[in-house]
Amino acid sequence: MSKVFVTHSLPGERLQVLAQRCELSVWEQPGLLSPSGLRQHLTGCEGLVCLLTDRVDRALLEDMPQLRFVSSMSVGVDHLDIAALTERGIPVGHTPGVLVDTTADTAFALLLAAARRVAEADRFVRHGQWRDDKAWSPDFFVGKDVSGATLGIIGLGAIGQAVARRAAGFGMRVLAWNRSAIQVPGVEQVSLEELLPRSDFVSVNVALSNDTRMLLDADRIATMKPGAVLVNTARGGIVDEQALADALDNGLIYAAGIDVFEREPLAMDNPLLRHPRVVLAPHIGSATIDTRRRMADMAVDNALAALAGEPMPHCANPAVYS
């Protein structure tokens, strides 16, 4: 029987089906599995079911000659060396589609929270600062209007389009930049150079790749509309965090809502932590009970197909099948 290693216990019951088709071992400890732990447990396995926190690089692959498939419980696959896996003919499963609305909801939650200073106001009340000497007044916790503002979406894939649908409900004008042209009703496609200075709100919804790494660097951030709000629910590494913190410091950027970071978990010296108008979340874009269960089911279904010698239903490198 093939040996398969799963790097975390998964929601739902589907793993039990996988356990009947292979010799399954699951890392059940709380917290992250270390790179050395992954190496140790993967040795001798033909299959890996992993999370976005598990890195599979060329060096690891070279020591795993028996590996035949990888299935990640994530839509993003930037934690996996896709080029090296494809060279080896190893199919990579992922979970597109099921987390689209949940992630778009998170983007909008962060956008609204940042614009209307919700997290800052919550801290204010909790810390007993809401007193007679600091009470309701005309300029008390004033923020920015979302309704009627212009939203610029970077990356008009499924999640970007779902963000655009939500924006339409708020009466926003929607601009988008996408590498290839896609016609989406109600969305004006523009260049990145045009989107940044025109947008009151910018939502990052593009995948992390060599082309998008540091896409929003200091130079591009400097061209954003003064007083803009930036939301990132895609991946850390697309936005230069230091440049964003500097732009918040100098008042160019009004606020930000950030769910994803270059280094996760976030280091406590990250410059974004010092800004009261940055709403921070610990990579929870897809974190609802139903969506996480669907993602787990898809990850297991991809693994089941690979074990049966069939193409994975959701493969991030379909070239391995041609």
- Chain contacts with ligand DGY (rule: CB under 6 A): 52, 74-76, 99, 285-286
CB of 120 to ligand DGY, least distance (A): 25
Place of tokens 């769910």: 259
283 classed as catalytic: yes
46 classed as catalytic: no
Residue 29 DSSP class: S
By beta-carbon proximity to ligand DGY, the closer residue of 167 and 299 is: 299
The span from the CA of 59 to the CA of 204, in Å, is: 31
CB of 303 to ligand DGY, least distance (A): 16
The first and second tokens of residue 124, run together, are: 């204010």
By beta-carbon proximity to ligand DGY, the closer residue of 52 and 221 is: 52
Active-site residue identified among 283, 292, 294, 314? 283
CB of 285 to ligand DGY, least distance (A): 4
By beta-carbon proximity to ligand DGY, the closer residue of 77 and 305 is: 77
By beta-carbon proximity to ligand DGY, the closer residue of 74 and 161 is: 74
264 classed as catalytic: yes
CB of 313 to ligand DGY, least distance (A): 16
The first and second tokens of residue 200, run together, are: 């009151």
Residue from 40, 47, 43 nearest 24 by CA: 47
Provide the residue type at 167 as one letter.
Answer: A
Report the half-sphere exposure of 160 (CA within 13 A, side-chain side). 28
List of residues 6+ apart from 53 with CB closer than 8 A: 32, 33, 79, 264
Q: Tell me which residues are annotated as active site.
A: 235, 264, 283
